[in-house]
A and B are shown apart, each in its own frame.
Chain A
Amino acid sequence: MSAGPGLESLVDQTISVITNDGRNIVGVLKGFDQATNIILDESHERVYSTKEGVQQLVLGLYIIRGDNISVVGELDEDLDSNLDLKSLRAHPLKPVIH
């Protein structure tokens, strides 16, 4: 059972988390457990809107409860530095409806 899709390979890497309420939080993965609870360091939230570019809100050290996590993505630093967040406009993601 241990060879599953754990998050081991992402520890100390920058990740992008999508939460069940549709938020997008970017930070460095410091720890995680069986329930996908995660510890994020140096984190910030990226707030999407259709009126203005992406806003970045500094959050700092965060623990996110696994129940509230949808997706954990490995952030590709090259791709991310080429993104022009100021001109990116989109609706915020919808919340998860179970």
Chain B
Amino acid sequence: MLFFSYFKDLVGREVTVELKNDLAIRGTLHSVDQYLNIKLENTRVVDQDKYPHMLSVRNCFIRGSVVRYVQLPPEGVDVELLHDATRREARGG
């Protein structure tokens, strides 16, 4: 639940999603759901010469189960806030 809320706060930001097949897709975060499925807008693949498979795709849905990393904008991360929230969740509150 914590990371679902966290990603919801990042909607509208530019992120790079790296998948478990090594494909990295950059785009504007449009939405997230409880499975951490991600929808990106204005997408481009990071290495288009190597991966021309999505050249005609500008908006995409990424299944949460294949996400390896989400690279965030530094200003989108409030470490103190996340620390507090994870501690609260660990305590069961």
Residues of A that sit less than 8 Å from B by CB: 1, 3-7, 10, 16, 18, 20, 22, 24, 36, 46, 48, 66-67, 69-76, 79-80, 83, 88, 90-91, 93-98
- A4 and B31 contacting across the interface, CB-CB below 8 Å: yes
In the complex, A1→B34 CA distance in Å? 7
B20 surroundings in chain A (CB, below 8 A): 70, 96-98
Within 8 A of A (CB), among B65-92: 65-66
Within 8 A of A (CB), among B21-69: 21-23, 25, 30-34, 37-39, 43, 50-63, 65-66
Name 30 A/B residue pairs within 8 A (Cβ), A-sorted.
Answer: A1-B33, A4-B33, A4-B37, A5-B33, A5-B38, A7-B61, A10-B61, A18-B21, A18-B23, A20-B66, A24-B53, A36-B37, A70-B20, A70-B21, A70-B23, A70-B62, A71-B60, A71-B61, A73-B43, A73-B54, A73-B60, A74-B57, A76-B56, A76-B58, A79-B56, A91-B50, A94-B22, A95-B21, A96-B19, A96-B66
- A93 and B37 contacting across the interface, CB-CB below 8 Å: no
**Interface majority SS (helix, strand, loop, mixed), chain A:** loop
Residues of B that sit less than 8 Å from A by CB: 19-23, 25, 30-34, 37-39, 43, 50-63, 65-66
* A-B residue pairs, 6 tightest by C-beta: A4-B33, A73-B57, A5-B39, A80-B56, A73-B60, A79-B56
A70 surroundings in chain B (CB, below 8 A): 19-21, 23, 62-63, 66
